A and B are shown apart, each in its own frame.
Chain A
Amino acid sequence: MIDTEAFMGALTLMATSAGSWGWIVPGLIVGLVFSAIPGISITMAMAIVLPMSLHMDFFSAVVFLTSVYTGAGFGGSVPAILMNIPGSPSSFATTFDGYAMSKKGEHNEALGYALFASTLCGIFGYVLLLFVVEPLAEIVLKIGPLEMFAVALWGMLLLGSLGSTYISRGLLAAAFGVLLGTVGMNTAGYIRGTMGIPSLLDGIQPVPAMIGLLAAGQLLSLASRDYILEAEGARKVSVRRILLGCWYTFKYPAVLIRGSIIGIVIGAVPGVGSSVGNLIAYAETKRTDKDSASFGKGNPKGVIAAESAVASAEGGSMATMLALGIPGGGATAILLAAFMMHNIVPGPTFIETQKDMVYAIILNNIVQAVVLLVVGIGFIYVAANVVRVRTRYVLPAILVIATLGTYAVNGSIAGPITFFVFACIGFALVRYEYPVAATVVGLLLGRMLETEFLRSYQLTGGNIVYVTEHPAAIAIVVLMVLSMAMTAWGKRKQLQQEAAEAEAMERLHQEELAAKAAHNHR
């Protein structure tokens, strides 16, 4: 699996190009800072520094850009945890438990969990990549519309984990989100719901829409408070507690591994990226956990699951890019552009002829993940201080920065307008107690659901027999149903046990009463 000769070559390459190591820390800081700003995605952060990298030699440029990528993967979770506003779609699932932990005054630990999960799974993802970079790429090409549709359905299962007072409103909100996700020109060339606005032809921009939906309710609820955290004692920033969070991450190896595997596989699929992986990893972790009721109320496993999928997805999408020359998402598209600008075309030929370079890139990313731990602790120490600033200063700043960020996505006014419109919709949803999160999930997955379903239909010509030729899709669905059935079974058993216990207690109580009565009678 590993070509030893090329591996040694990679080590030599790493050692001889020590100068390029210096780009790791600046890259990480750029990634962390930019992606912590709501509205600026990983792709944006990398596009901003792309021109700079043109003046470096090839290896330095790749080190710099992948460092930005690594830093940005984690940075988005900082506003998600501290303010319930995800920096990018990939840290959406982090808000569920991350912000709940912050509200309990455990923001230090939550950031620690997120950082360590990011680091560990980033390393894990790349180590795995070292072994499977080629076979993984082959598998990725075999993933067709049917399999992708199954994955999208899996993502939608998350809806079941979003607690809502009214099931009907939750479903309605999700359906609304899916409909929003299908606005624009679909894969068959039909234009729907654009109201004649050219900017909507590509669909509703997910980042401004998501931030609008989530931020409106959140900012308004924050506006009524003096500080983000009510209790004065909780507004502390402590390195000790951040490190404690880091350390406790080790207690959940199963969550880490499951999150990583989901992240790598889904991250490797072109066009999906980490924004779906974190949803699936969160939903799976919650559903299979014994104590699933505590998720969404500040269970650290929720933070770990979401972050592990985001961090390992980086490795997955790098595999697709290096081995096939296909960008898995926006960030790898920028990396690909950087490769091309240095006259290097990734793909099967590149990986065959320059294996040492591929290994060197992977090894360097492992180093980056380790350095992220140190830089990240410093960054969250500074960033966490936002809880000590009065909301009257924080809120206007967030609004302005988010507006600028949404403008920057495409450099057009369409972004801020989307942001504003969806802030109004988000406010209305919150006001009438519809779960906003369900709408966001629908919005993020709606397009994928529709596209892949339509393609499956086109491919089969409506003939269901075709499905049997795709064991992978069947396997995904069977796994999904099995895991749901297991959960339901486990829940039922648990309920029965609880009922039996309650009955026993009741009987004991009755017996006691009877005994007492008999005693009194006597």
Chain B
Amino acid sequence: MKTQLSRRNILKIAGGGAAIAALGMPSILRAQGAYPDRPINLVVPFATGGYNDRLARAFAPYLQAELGQPCVIVNQPGAGAQLGHTYALQQPMDGYTILCTSAAPYIPLNILLQNATYKAEDFHMINLPSRDYTLAATTSDSEITDMKQVIDRLKEDPTSLSLGVQPASADYANLILTLQKAGVPTDGLRLVTYDGGGPARNATAGGQVDVGFVGGEGFLPLKDKIKPLVMYADEAPEWWSDAPTLSDAGIETDYVEGSQRGWVVPTALTKEQPEIYAKIEAAVKAASEKPEAIEALKLQELATRWYGPEASNKAYMNNFTKMSTYVDLLK
């Protein structure tokens, strides 16, 4: 059967159809107008259940109330957060992708050790409320009483104690910095390496290793099973207010902050879409300072404190510079 439609007629119909479709889909036309008009993705570059994931899930209700659009958690785990960071940078710069990540130590580690294709400056910190510090600890019934003793024993014989640590981490840098400062040769140490904070903490609590150097916050559930020796911080954080700081333990050394976690966007967004970025920043600030949010997150031992972009970026870049200085220690 031959069709009766000429090509011209088909074009007319198609054109009309397109016009009707355009009328029927005002959302596309309005897209340039009011941000946000569709759900926003909160990208967590770790698997479900970690600190960032819990932070994102707990904070999302307050953030979406401020933004006026639902927030969807997108887990993009892998390669020490490198896959998730790359993913976030690859998304269109339209403000619909916000990262909730451990900016330190993972972004510096991605760049310095894993040859990631991005630079530290590619990320802009909105706020980094959660700070974690390296904690040197032993199992609770260990004969070791303080950090001085550890250093003395290692000075005498570097193989006398086994030390558990994650390789290529801020904890490792802190361990080496301390021992170098104290004049302990770092070649003959019995370093036992763990590929995650969890296993390293279990080994410390179970006495598998004599001293463990790991992020302190994860030790909280195991608090009764360990003895803290020194926390690499100038002042003890509020979640472990009686932990011995460097000055308490009488240790003099430079140190690297363990983790800085919080809300991050690609720097390109702040340049290309300053109005959209301003909205996001205002929403994160408002949600962080909301009393209900602070209370709800505190119950889950999650941080909300508002440091703001300026202080957060400064802390982040400081950490990156320090990590770059000590990168040879990490290799």
Chain A interface (Cβ < 8 Å from any Cβ of B): 47, 50, 54, 140-145, 185-189, 191, 198-199, 201-202, 270-271, 324-327, 330, 333-334, 336-337, 340-341, 343, 345-349, 410-412, 414, 451, 454-455, 458-461
B157-210, CB < 8 A from A: 159, 162, 167-168, 188, 190-195, 198-199, 202-203, 205-209
B13 at interface by CB-CB < 8 Å: no
For the complex of A and B, 9 pairs with smallest distance between CB atoms: A141-B206, A189-B167, A337-B49, A347-B221, A325-B221, A201-B79, A144-B208, A187-B195, A458-B192
B82 at interface by CB-CB < 8 Å: yes
B70 at interface by CB-CB < 8 Å: no
A412 and B78 contacting across the interface, CB-CB below 8 Å: yes
Choose from B57, B78, B79, B202 the contact partner of A270 (Cβ within 8 Å): B202
A358 CA / B176 CA spacing, docked (Å): 42
Output the least CB separation between B61 and chain A (Å): 10
B199 and A348 contacting across the interface, CB-CB below 8 Å: no
User: Beyond A50-B48, A141-B205, A185-B195, is A201–B114 a contact (Cβ under 8 Å)?
Assistant: yes
B224 at interface by CB-CB < 8 Å: yes
Q: How many chain B residues touch A (Cβ–Cβ < 8 Å)?
A: 48
Choose from A191, A324, A348, A455 the contact partner of B193 (Cβ within 8 Å): A455
B253 at interface by CB-CB < 8 Å: no
A186 CA / B194 CA spacing, docked (Å): 9
CB contacts (< 8 Å) of A186 on chain B: these are 195
B54 and A341 contacting across the interface, CB-CB below 8 Å: yes
A201 and B193 contacting across the interface, CB-CB below 8 Å: no
Name the residue of chain B whose CB is nearest to the CB of A324.
B222
B202 and A198 contacting across the interface, CB-CB below 8 Å: no
A142 and B207 contacting across the interface, CB-CB below 8 Å: yes
B241 at interface by CB-CB < 8 Å: no
Output the least CB separation between A370 and chain B (Å): 29
CB contacts (< 8 Å) of B168 on chain A: these are 189
B198 and A202 contacting across the interface, CB-CB below 8 Å: no
Output the least CB separation between B197 and chain A (Å): 11
DSSP majority for the A interface? helix
Name the residue of chain B whose CB is nearest to the CB of A326.
B202
Choose from A270, A345, A451 the contact partner of B195 (Cβ within 8 Å): A451
Output the least CB separation between A321 and chain B (Å): 10
Output the least CB separation between B135 and chain A (Å): 16
B225 and A348 contacting across the interface, CB-CB below 8 Å: yes
A198 and B167 contacting across the interface, CB-CB below 8 Å: no
B79 and A324 contacting across the interface, CB-CB below 8 Å: no
A333 and B202 contacting across the interface, CB-CB below 8 Å: no
Choose from A191, A201, A349 the contact partner of B78 (Cβ within 8 Å): A201
A461 CA / B76 CA spacing, docked (Å): 38
B233-260, CB < 8 A from A: none
A145 and B49 contacting across the interface, CB-CB below 8 Å: no
Interface centre among A189, A326, A341, A343 (most CB of B within 10 A): A189
Name the residue of chain A whose CB is nearest to the CB of B113.
A189
CB contacts (< 8 Å) of B10 on chain A: these are none
CB contacts (< 8 Å) of A325 on chain B: these are 221-222
A337 and B54 contacting across the interface, CB-CB below 8 Å: yes
Output the least CB separation between A410 and chain B (Å): 6
B193 and A458 contacting across the interface, CB-CB below 8 Å: yes
